[in-house]
Amino acid sequence: MRVNLLVSGGTAFFMERFDPVAILRLIETERLTGIGQVPTMFQWIVAQPEFAKADLSSLQRIVWGGRMPCFPCSRRSLERVPDSPRASG
């Protein structure tokens, strides 16, 4: 995802360490259009109380890698970001 993002003129944000609340804030403040992570990281993001009220309207794509995400996490992401395609690789 990162290579495609950069080739198409996008911007990549790299964090020193994983922080699910900081990622939610970054999505809101930088209006991120796509995120990519392993399913476990996404589970932690979805588990945060802030996930329910975060402004995720800028997200256009959610990408997982390594394995398929758990069904409840996938369902919850669809509820919050219904028009965003999902990809697993």
CATH number of the domain residue 32 falls in: 3.40.50.980
Question: Which residues span the domain enclosing 67?
Answer: 2-88
* pLDDT one-digit tens code per residue, 23-44: 999 999 999 888 888 888 888 9
* pLDDT one-digit tens code per residue, 67-88: 766 667 667 766 777 666 555 5
For residue 74, what pLDDT is reported?
A: 67
- pTM here is 0.76
DSSP the chain: -HHHHHHTT------SS--HHHHHHHHHHHT-SEEEE-HHHHHHHHHSGGGGTS--TT--EEEE-SSPPPHHHHHHHHHHSTT--EEE-
What total number of domains does the chain contain? 1
